Chains A and B, each alone.
Chain A
Amino acid sequence: MADTKVGPMSLSVAKDPSLMTGAIPAKDWMDTPAIFKPGNYCYPGKKEIAAYHGKNLPGKFGESRDWKVEEDDWKLPENWKEIIINGIKERLDKFRSFKIFMDCCVRCGACADKCHFFLGTGDPKNMPVLRAELLRSVYRNEFTKAGKILGRFAGAREMTFGVLKEWFMYFYQCTECRRCSVFCPYGIDTAEITMMAREILHLVGVNTNWILEPASNSNRTGNHLGLQPHTFKENAEFLLDDIETVTGVRLNSLNFNRKGAEILFVIPSADVFAEPGIFTFMGYLLMFEHIGLDYTISTYSSEGGNFGLFTNNELMKKLNGKIYAEAKRLGVKWILGGECGHMWRVLHQYMDTMNGPTDFLQVPKSPITGTVFENAASTKMVHISEFTADLIKHGKLKLDPSRNNHRKVTFHDSCNPARAMGLLEEPRYILKNVCNNFYEMPENTIREQTFCCGSGTGLNTGEIMDLRMRGGLPRANAVKHVHDKHGVNMLSCVCAIDRATLLSLMQYWNPDVEVCGISELVGNALIMEGEQVRETGLRSEPLEGMEG
């Protein structure tokens, strides 16, 4: 839990002088240094893990070494400035987005109060415009005529160690949620700028362990938790016992690494391991059994989530490559993906480009309804919510939504499915069919305007809890609104990181609200063949009318 208790925190966010509460900073932002203290930074990557990535992708992860964020010597390579400037140059040449976003901002400020980190901290450098200026100022100094000639007048400044510290602080207080880019008149996407900055920081070995270690696990064991194949299988199978206890049905269809299956099912690995993700996983399995789906789960490609996305595009590609490689090896027809946010950013916007083409797969076709998923004709990968919504629409699921009557449900649009995919209606359609009490949060906090959980992009690490609780405040506040108004007690989502981070966030700000994946509610509502009278939901909580 967070270091600061919720009472003092509540006072602090609303009262402490900050740009959010109307106080004007005394010093210009260029003259305000980033100061690290325990709780406001993520721990740096362990030496051997940085070395492992460096071995796999030479040059992309800098020199591996032990270093401490609070110390004044980060043991950077002697030519670190040169590496950084060259890193910027290289990316300007590779990404048009980067060039345009460096040149076009007029500082209109429309983005300023759209960032959850700014709303929760009031720190001026958490306004997306200033976050970008941290990098833009150096860009101007090195790459623009105005910056070279006019210097600070044109908003230019030199690359210094102080600037590097600022970058490490504020590009790790951005969760690449893209909310600001919805409001920007030029579509400037801070996620893109943060990605560039993080790529560049990794070049000089400035990194965080909470990203590097899961990425290295994903590479070697297939999933970010580092579960080895037998453990992964055992964990998943263990859940069959729980399902049997709740439903009285022993599922037979769960299987792993099976060649010739029709569909490869890829999940965020937390769904087989941690609450409340495991309940989501039970929901998937119940539904697959219910419709008799011919699927398999791979232990080799057991992580849909992609921690490479938080380092550089090379590692993202490398980790993502497993999915197609495994689909090919197993000879499946197409791929189905579980509920995960940034996983779907990669699957939807990057995978086919990086690791396609997929001539060995077929255009996804639901074997149950015959629906052809034309929108996935090239990547051959379908979102579980698209798949489930189609099943419900065709009446292929026997559902008893009253089994979710003990839940008053709201839906959190996860950033990436909302703003990098447009998956808005499918989960809502499912919810309206599997539960009777569904309430939307206020319109400025959902759909394309949804607020991040505050801990995405590898920030869901324990050492920055205060920061996470502040960053998650806008989301928690909107949940509190529907909790107070409608008695909402369940926050549903389609993201594994959400299922982990919203849990801490709710425990902190709204302790009466629980968190679940959509598929858990589907699992509760599904009427399975041969089932016993359901007295509890998948997490063994009593159903309405069964409390006695």
Chain B
Amino acid sequence: MRVLYSLAIVLALMLLAYTGVEVLPGGRTLFGVVLPWLAFVTFLFFFVAKIVDWAKSPVPFRIPTTCGQENSLPWIKQNKLDCPSTTAGVWGRMFLEIFLFRSLFRNTRAEIHEGPKLVYGSSKYLWLFGLMFHYSFLVIVLRHMRLFTNPVPFFVHALEFGDGFLQVGAPPIYITDLVFLGAVTFLFLRRVVLPAIRYISLPADYFPLFLIFGIGLTGVAMRYFFRVDVISIKTLTHGLVTFQFSAPLESISSLFFVHLFLVTTLMAYFPFSKLMHLGGVFLSPTRNMANNSRMVRHINPWNDPSIKPHSYAAYEDDFREFMVEAGLPVEKELEPKADENAPAASE
């Protein structure tokens, strides 16, 4: 249900864009210029707003998850990357986390057998496909910079050259296109095939996958199967960033507008969704803090100095007789008893 629902929405979005540009007067301007701009502004504004909102809340305690040996005695080798105690170490840890998905690399798979016997196997698939997905996505986004720049920067040329080095097909097939579609497919199949993952998945998990897959598919279709007017498209896209709206919109294929509308949707959806993990991963207190809380005092801005421990004086008042009797030192001696026969305090 959740799967079909999400798929239906993405298909509906595609149909909407298609009919919009085919039927609606001014539809091409709407889907080619107005909505992309609105979505871009939405993306920027709410992305920043979310980060600011996170940053507004303090980090009251220093709570890194330590995944290796602490810095203690000089002859014990510290694990400086998984349990950093310095800023440099934290940078290292964050680099591994953000660029190499360090934590996901630890992944294991547990099974229970008769006995009972639990076994844990290595499970690197999620890490591998996650990494492939994110990096191919990144390369594809960077490659698209050729549409927004003039002259095209050298690194875009370099990426295109490297990405197409297989020299198969005309135009040459980009490796990242294949990897991207393959990885998204894997991430989707994993969600529907593994029972536990299917059980935790929300429509909000399937929707972005379909959306991104749709973007990839329409992009690939334009490049390899249905040739589109690249010159006009570049006039449009370059115009979007230089505010020159003179592109011959009528000569651009509807397929392009479908592709663009899915990207538009992704941008507008991004800051309100789980995709914000892009920003959150930088701010996660269990990863971006040094494990030096006994070395350097961490300040909690809302620490309440009025919360005091039950005082020693009150404690001694409670138990003074017992303490004296047991030979424990006291601050205040017992008052001499007025009446020798007064009953002793009971326990």
Contact = CB atoms under 8 A, between A and B. Distances in A.
Nearest to B198: A24
A321 B312 CA distance: 11
A154 B202 contact: yes
B285 A96 contact: yes
26 contacts: A14-B116, A24-B199, A95-B60, A97-B285, A99-B54, A100-B285, A104-B274, A104-B284, A107-B201, A112-B197, A130-B200, A182-B65, A185-B101, A186-B277, A187-B103, A220-B315, A220-B318, A256-B328, A325-B312, A352-B297, A386-B72, A390-B73, A393-B75, A422-B72, A423-B72, A473-B118
B104 A19 contact: no
A375 B294 contact: yes
Interface in A203-232: 219-222, 228-230
Contacts of A99: 53-54, 57
Interface stretch (A71-79, A311-319, A494-502): A311-319
Contact of A183 (B61, B72, B104): B104
B117 A110 contact: no
B19 interface: no
B63 A189 contact: yes
B73 A321 contact: no
B106 interface: yes
A507 B11 CA distance: 59
A523 to B, nearest CB: 22
Interface string A176-194: 0010011111111100100
Interface in A471-524: 473-474, 477-478
B83 A422 contact: yes
B66 A448 contact: yes
A228 B322 contact: yes
Interface string B110-149: 1011111110100000100010000000000000000000
Contacts of B199: 19, 24-25, 29, 124, 130
Nearest to A347: B294
A292 interface: no
Interface stretch (B162-170, B241-249, B299-307): B299-307
Closest 5 CB pairs of A and B: A422-B70, A321-B309, A230-B326, A104-B280, A422-B66
Interface residues of A, number: 125
A525 interface: no
A540 interface: no
B114 A105 contact: no
B323 A229 contact: yes
Interface string A248-289: 000000001111000000000000000000000000000000
A15 to B, nearest CB: 7
B332 interface: no
B196 A322 contact: no
Given A14-B116, A56-B310, A97-B284, 18 more contacts: A15-B114, A22-B195, A96-B285, A113-B109, A182-B67, A229-B319, A299-B328, A314-B307, A318-B309, A353-B62, A373-B72, A375-B70, A375-B294, A377-B295, A420-B65, A422-B79, A447-B68, A473-B116
Given A108-B130, A183-B104, A353-B298, A97 B276 contact: no
Contacts of B70: 375, 421-424
A318 B116 contact: no
Contacts of B106: 182-183, 449
- Interface of A, secondary structure class, is helix
Nearest to B50: A103
A183 B276 contact: no
B156 interface: no
A381 B194 CA distance: 47
B62 A219 contact: no
Contacts of B302: 94
A96 B112 contact: no
Contact of B196 (A98, A104, A113): A113
B66 A421 contact: yes
A97 B58 CA distance: 9
A361 interface: no
B87 interface: no
Interface of B: 5, 50, 53-63, 65-73, 75-79, 82-83, 85, 97, 101, 103-104, 106-110, 112-118, 120, 126, 130, 194-205, 272-274, 276-277, 280-281, 283-287, 291-300, 302-304, 307-312, 315-316, 318-319, 322-323, 325-329, 347
Contacts of A92: 57
A424 B67 CA distance: 10
B54 A96 contact: yes
Nearest to B202: A155
A93 interface: yes
B112 A321 contact: no
Contacts of B205: 106-107
A379 interface: yes
B128 to A, nearest CB: 13
Contacts of A368: none
Nearest to B310: A219
A196 B221 CA distance: 48
Most chain B CB inside 10 Å of its own CB: which residue of A103, A119, A129, A449: A103
Contacts of B283: 96, 100
Interface string A126-159: 0101100100000000001110000001110000
A485 B309 CA distance: 49
Given A10-B115, A444-B108, A425 B274 contact: no
A146 B272 contact: yes
A86 interface: no
B307 to A, nearest CB: 5
B92 to A, nearest CB: 15
A27 to B, nearest CB: 10
B284 A187 contact: yes
Contacts of B310: 56, 219-220, 318, 322
B328 A348 contact: no
A109 interface: yes
B200 A129 contact: yes
Contact of B294 (A98, A219, A376): A376
B272 A144 contact: yes
A22 B110 CA distance: 12
Contacts of A114: 108, 110
A444 B294 contact: no
B196 A109 contact: yes
A19 B197 CA distance: 10
A278 B107 CA distance: 39
Contacts of B65: 178, 181-182, 187, 189, 419-420
